Amino acid sequence: MSDLVHEFIFHSATRSPQAEALVYGARRLVYGELAGLLRSTRDALLAHGLGMGERVAVYMEKNVENVAAMFGAAAAGGAFVPVNPLLKPEQVAYILADCNVRVLVTSVDRLRLLGDALAHCRDLKLVIAVGAGVPAAVPGVEVLGWDAALASGQHAPPPHRVIDGDLAAILYTSGSTGKPKGVVLSHRNLVAGAKSVASYLENTATDRLLAVLPLSFDYGLSQLTTAFHAGATAVLINHLLPRDVLNAVVAEKITGLAAVPPLWIQLAPLPWPADCTLRYLTNSGGAMQRPTLDALRAALPNARPFLMYGLTEAFRSTYLPPEELERRPDSMGKAIPNAEVAVLRPDGSECAPGEPGELVHRGALVSLGYWNDPAKTAERFKPIAPRHYGLPIIELAVWSGDTVRKDEDGFLYFISRNDEMIKTSGYRVSPTEVEEVVYARDQVAEAAALGVKHPSLGQAIVVVALPREGVALTASDLLAALKPHLPAYMLPQKVVIVAASLPRNPNGKIDRKLLSAQYENVFGEGA
C-alpha cells in the first residue's frame, strides 16, 4: 500500500519493473528505470542538504527530468513546487520567494532568462540546470548541470522520515488580489486524490494517459499520480497546436485524455479516427458546453465522457457518471469516492433541494491551507458540524466560494462562482447562465460573460465572443439571437466580437480577470 506519493512509482517498479512508465518524445522509461532515476535525484538533493519539508521548485516544460525532480523531492522528504512554464521571471521569483524555495530545477535556457529576478530569492541555495550548454551563474547560489547533480549524490544521507500528513507539494493558484496563493498539499491529499480518481475511471496498468495540461495545475499533476498509482503509462506532451494532441493520441495509443473546456472546443472538430483508442475523456476547470460535448460524443463514440468539478484547495469534489449524461446533462454529478460534499447556507445549515448554497467539501482531499497565510486560510477553511456528535476534535472543511444547488436525487448543479456573480439592476446574474445561451447559438466558438461597472446599473453585462471558423457574425446579430432566450436584465448591454481566441490563464482556462480589466471602462472612464 502506498501512503506517500512517490511510493506509487517504487511499488509499481516492484510489481512490474519492465512495464512502461513514462514517455517523452523518443525517451521511454520503464518503471524500474524511473524508480532508479528517482533514487538518484533524491540522493542528489539530500547530498546538498535538503531539509525535511524544504521546497524544491521545478520550472520547465514537461519532460523526464521535471517528473524526476518533483517525485525525487518528495522521496527525499522535501516538498515540490511545480511552476507553470508560461510564467514570466518576475512571477517565478515571487513564487520562489513566497515559499522560501531552497532548490530550483530548471532548464539552461530558462535560467538565463530568469537573470536578476533570482536576486530576490534569498533562501535559494542550489540551482540544477537541465539541457545542453553552460548554465548561467547566479550570485551566491551553487549552480550544477543535471548530470553533475546526480553524480554528486553517491554518499547522500538517508531520506527524511515523513508520514502521510506531512507536506508533499505546494501548488500556486490565482488569488483575488492578483498575487498567486500557495495551496499546501500533504502526501495524504495526493494519494487520496489519485486513488479516488483511478477508482471511478477504472484505471489499470494497461492504460496510457496523455499529460497535456501543465503539471503546476492540480488537474494536470493528477494525470501522473493516477497513472503511477495504477502502474499505467504517462505520456508527456508540450503541444503547440490542437492537432499535436490528436497526433499524440494516435501515435501513443492513448486511452485517457484530460482537458479543460477551451481546449475541448479546439479538439472537438478535429478528424478523429474511427478506431481511436480513447476509452474515456475527462473535463474539469469549467463547464463543457453542450455543443462541444455533443461533437465529441459523435466523433469519439467509444470514449466515455466524465464531467468533473474541482478546486485546488480540495483537488476534486464531484463527477458525473457517463450513464447520467442523457438524464442530467447540466449536472456536476455527486461526490467522488472518499469525499463528502454539502450545500450549505452561510450559517452552516444544509440547504433544501433546489435551494442555492455554497459547496463545502470535507474529507481526505482537503488541503492544509494556504502557505504562510493564516488569514486567507481562515477565510476558506472553516469548521463544519461533525456528523458524529461528541467528537472532541472539530474537522475543517473547505468552503469553495461556488454557489450550487442539489436536486431531490442528490445531484449537484453549478450556479456561479461567488466572486464572479454579476450584480446588475438589483439582480444577481450568473455569467455561466448567460454563456450557456450564447454557446447554444451555433455561430459561437468561444465566449465569456463579464460584469463591467456601469453608472446606472451598478454592473452591466458584456459578452465577448469568437465566431466559429467561416461564420460571419456581428454584435447586433448575436444580440438579436439572444433576446428570445434571456430576460431583459440578463441581456448584455454590449457584445464584442473578436477575431482571435480569448486569452487563457496559465492553466488553459479563459482568463476572466484579464478580460474584465480590458473592458472595465467600456461604458466610459467615469462609469
Q: Judge whether 171 and 369 are in contact, CB under 8 Å.
A: no
54-64 burial string, b = 16+ CB within 10 Å, else e? Answer: bbbbbbbebbb
Residue 95: its H or E element: helix 89-98
How remote is the C-alpha of 119 from its chain's centroid? 29
| Residues near 195 by beta carbon (within 8 Å), at least 6 away in sequence | 229, 337, 338
User: pLDDT value at position 317?
Assistant: 96
φ, ψ of residue 187 in degrees (nearest 5): -60, -40
Cell of 150: 546526480
Q: Judge whether 317 and 310 are in contact, CB under 8 Å.
A: yes
DSSP code for 502: P
pLDDT band at 216; cut points 50, 70, 90: very high
The residue extents of the domains of the chain are 38-185, 332-417, 421-518
The conformational region for residue 83 under phi > 0 = left, psi -120 to 50 = alpha, else beta, is beta
Q: Judge whether 198 and 230 are in contact, CB under 8 Å.
A: yes
How remote is the C-alpha of 489 from its chain's centroid? 33
User: pLDDT value at position 507?
Assistant: 83
Q: What is the 3-state secondary structure (H, E, C) of 293-309?
A: HHHHHHHCCCCEEEEEE
- Kindly report which listed range (135-149, 212-226, 280-294, 427-441) carries the lowest average pLDDT score: 427-441
Classify 320 as helix, strand or coil: strand
Q: Which of 343, 316, 320 is nearest to 332 (CA)?
A: 320
Q: Judge whether 214 and 85 are in contact, CB under 8 Å.
A: yes
For all residues of the chain together, what is the average pLDDT? 93
User: pLDDT value at position 411?
Assistant: 97
Span 160-166, mean pLDDT?
97
pLDDT band at 53; cut points 50, 70, 90: very high
Cell of 94: 515571487
Residue with C-alpha cell 518528495? 74
The CATH topology of domain 38-185 is: Rossmann fold (3.40.50)
User: pLDDT value at position 174?
Assistant: 67
Cell of 416: 456561479
List of E strands, 90-239: 103-107, 126-130, 142-145, 167-173, 181-186, 208-211, 233-236
pLDDT at 296 over 90: yes
User: pLDDT value at position 176?
Assistant: 44
Give Cα separations from 94 to 89, 149, 155, 178 (angstroms).
9, 25, 33, 12
Instruction: Tell me how many degrees the CA angle 68-70-73 measures, rounded to the nearest 5.
Output: 95
pLDDT tens digits, 169-179: 999 986 544 57
User: pLDDT value at position 424?
Assistant: 83
Give Cα separations from 292 to 39, 49, 287, 439 (angstroms).
43, 50, 10, 9
Span 407-417, mean pLDDT?
91
Confirm or reject CATH 2.30.38.10 for domain 332-417, answering yes or no.
Answer: yes
- Indicate the Cα dihedral angle 44, 83, 377, 352, nearest 10°: -120
In angstroms, the CA 314 to CA 176 distance is 18
pLDDT tens digits, 420-473: 778 887 677 888 889 988 998 889 999 999 999 888 788 899 999 999 989 999
Q: Judge whether 447 and 433 are in contact, CB under 8 Å.
A: no
Residue with C-alpha cell 469568437? 466
In angstroms, the CA 92 to CA 104 distance is 11
Span 61-82, mean pLDDT?
98
Q: Judge whether 52 and 102 are in contact, CB under 8 Å.
A: no
pLDDT at 389 over 60: no
- The one-letter code for the residue type at 186 is S
Classify 271 as helix, strand or coil: coil
| Residues near 132 by beta carbon (within 8 Å), at least 6 away in sequence | 108
- Indicate the Cα dihedral angle 61, 92, 112, 67, nearest 10°: -30
pLDDT tens digits, 244-265: 999 999 999 999 999 988 899 8
In angstroms, the CA 12 to CA 482 distance is 53
Domains 332-417 and 421-518 share a fold: no
User: pLDDT value at position 287?
Assistant: 84
Give Cα separations from 3 to 45, 80, 164, 388, 409 (angstroms).
22, 17, 6, 26, 34
Confirm or reject CATH 3.40.50.2020 for domain 421-518, answering yes or no.
Answer: no
